[in-house]
Structure 1
Amino acid sequence: MNMSKLTIPAGYKMPLTNNELQRAIELIHADFQHNLTVRLNLHRVSAPLFVDGATGLNDDLNGVERPVTFDIPDVGTDGQVVHSLAKWKRLALKRYEFKLGTGLYTDMNAIRRDEVVDNLHSIYVDQWDWEKHIDPQNRNVLYLKDTVREIVGCICDTATALRNAFPVLTFRPDRDVYFITTQELEDRFPNLTPNERELEICRLHHTVFLMQIGKTLKSGSKHDGRAPDYDDWDLNGDILMWNPVLGRNFEVSSMGIRVDAAALDRQLEESGCNQRRNLPFHQMLLHGELPQSIGGGIGQSRLCMLLLGTCHIGEVQVSLWDQETLRACEKAGITLL
């Protein structure tokens, strides 16, 4: 069944009961967090739900999404609910004195009021945000690829644990990562849209790391937007996996090696965001006062969807949905939490 924003695969049925589903979600969270901390040498920290809008710490995403903003009379400033913790994490590496080779992870909860909701997207975003202090010599593609393989390994190990606990679940993610840049992808499929290119490359190679997102391609367009002040557009990417239930590409993580002063300078200029140079966070970056780092976000509900074989994100998280989606899911026997 296809509607404007909703896809319900023919014959779809969630393989677990609602009670089993909750236990399976708990297992995924516990097991994946453990795997991530061991493989990447991370430690858990507390994180903000909102930040001061005047600091420049909030993630701008594509630059057009409106943050949820509220006044705080007793503090004398406006709070912004975070879009993500991309910038805050790097500052936290410095403030919490994380040593070289160690890093942090946290539960990130966000509200993205302008999100177009569908099978994969909700206005409520939950992800594991992580950031690691790295040596400047590791600002290279080899280190990026090694880190991607570790994260994919975490996902595969958690999938194994889940299948052992719930044998009715059969999904086996591919450990072998196929690396390709957005330019190489455009060269291979010049007549397709960016979304169609991702679909084709994931159909061919089930686990893909699509690199260099945010750069302008030879065609004059960008594969996708990426804020200029956290990822280095030469050293970033998305982890994409093939979703057999929906029959499509499925983004699990957005990540990258972060900008140094030179990359920030270049990307602010290229994106027409020079006004950000005077913000406190950006001043620290331009003056080399923050650790070099790599980091990313890994969708919690996204990972649960993929490993559990659900067709809608509302089956694994609580959010708000339009009436058309609610009616269609009820008719198809799909329980939205």
Structure 2
Amino acid sequence: MPQTNSPRKDGPQADTPLFAGLPGDIAVSFEFFPPKTEKMEAQLWDAITQLAPLGPNFVSVTYGAGGSTRERTHGTVARIVTETDLVPAAHLTCVAASKAEIAEIADQYWQAGVRHIVALRGDPSPADNGIFVPHPQGYANAAELVAGLKAQHDFDISVAAYPEVHPEAASAEADLDNLKRKLDAGATRAITQVFFSNDAYFRFLDRALAAGIAAPILPGIMPVTNFAAIRRMSANTEIPGWMESMFEDLDERPGPRALVAAVAAADQCRRLYDGGVRDFHFYTLNRAEQAYAICQLLGLRAGRNDKGSA
């Protein structure tokens, strides 16, 4: 059979990779969780050591459901303060704590040199059957927590945002009103829940701006390490059809899955970049490789924006 020539595109785009030539004009932050074992602690500090040279604006440390990791969170944050030059952001929630207890924790952070708090209502305590019940002497919501923290110390405060609406919100409008209350109470920025639809994120930014919200809303990016878990967790998060197809049959193949996850997350970030985003927050799950690779693809290089080292 005669050979048929394939279509050809001439010009600079034909041989230019999607990530070529990016100037690295981005800011990043990373989220970690407090380790439960010595092995997990070693993994955490390996991740911190690898990611620190990228100069993150801050690194946050999570707080378990019902305040279950309070001491471990504090210990991890304290170690970041004493052993690195990174800026730690400690998660703090309203769950199972009085205002006096929260004030004591906030004082401890302030005295330890922590100036950034991620203030959250928090997931319900398991003892409350999945329903948030405010402590009788506690804060009823994150907006109250933000106001209380700002009255106590001049913390830099981040709060949560939900591009696809919080599962417990009465409506999208009510959810946006709640975000505005948190920012009006003194929060500096919002960090989004994980999302996979960039259209949902950009629509959310438009709605926020129309509601008078001018504070930065950082996209929360998480490379998929376990797609089956993502399916279980995605009650209010759209999983695009292309993503289902991309991860098909990979649940039992961790190596290929990690490679595909890095490609998918990097592509998401590249498209966010094309839409004007320059500040990214990565949910690392205490692993550095994928977040580092994505930053590399976006043009960020170790040492160029060095705010800390481990």
> Does TM, scored on the shorter chain, surpass 0.5?
no
More strand by share: 1
